[in-house]
Amino acid sequence: MRICMTATLVSLTLFASSAHSAPKTILVLGDSLSAEYGLARGAGWVSLLESRLSTESIDAIVINASISGETTSGGKSRFANLLEKNHPAVVVIELGGNDGLRGLPIKASEDNLRSIINAAKKAQAKVLLVGMQIPPNYGRNYTDQFSALYPKLAKETSSALVPFLLTGVADRPELFQSDRIHLKAQAHPIMLNNVWAHLKPLLIK
């Protein structure tokens, strides 16, 4: 009996140690700004995030589920499978830019993002919503409503928020690729810093 109890205690200790040391999974659900569009492999901010985690001695792995051209609707349709497959501790949602550039209904984008956030939280994942802004192609009213939906959802769902992914980048034409939409590699460390300031607290709590 004593041997059995000792063996059981050892097993439980090993299990607890293993569970404690298991790295957290960060799932990034984004569009071309996170999918290294037009960049050499490893130059995007999501790839740079992996190096930052190592430098900061934070035990986490990054799953980049970003797709160029992705919309909030597309992200929503893929999200349940991504949750089931990866069981993330943190979900970074970088979506909506393509919705805005296409002039899609803001209410639909808001509903899609809310659905993704709620699904992540139901799966016990922390959420970091990445804010985006768009040019006033569809009028000031549309542009303002689009920008406002990110802080609105973050407040409503008690999610962390990056106010604007392109802070320090959007007003620097030399950092954009020839299409004037996507960023050169030099911009991505700045984008990472914008994200990291709000992501790190979610990883060390």
Element (H, E) at 24: strand 24-30
Annotated active-site residue 34? The verdict is: no
Q: Which candidate in 111, 115, 182, 198 is catalytic?
A: 182
Residue from 82, 89, 81 nearest 22 by CA: 89
Q: Dihedral, CA atoms, 167, 169, 171, 177, nearest 10 degrees?
A: -150
Residue 184 contacts residue 175 (beta carbons within 8 Å) = yes
Annotated active-site residue 115? The verdict is: no
Whole-number Å distance between alpha carbons of 164 and 134: 11
Annotated active-site residue 171? The verdict is: no
Q: Which candidate in 31, 32, 99, 147 is catalytic?
A: 32
Q: Which candidate in 21, 171, 178, 179 is catalytic?
A: 179
- Which position has the token pair 């911009």? 187
What are the catalytic residues?
32, 179, 182
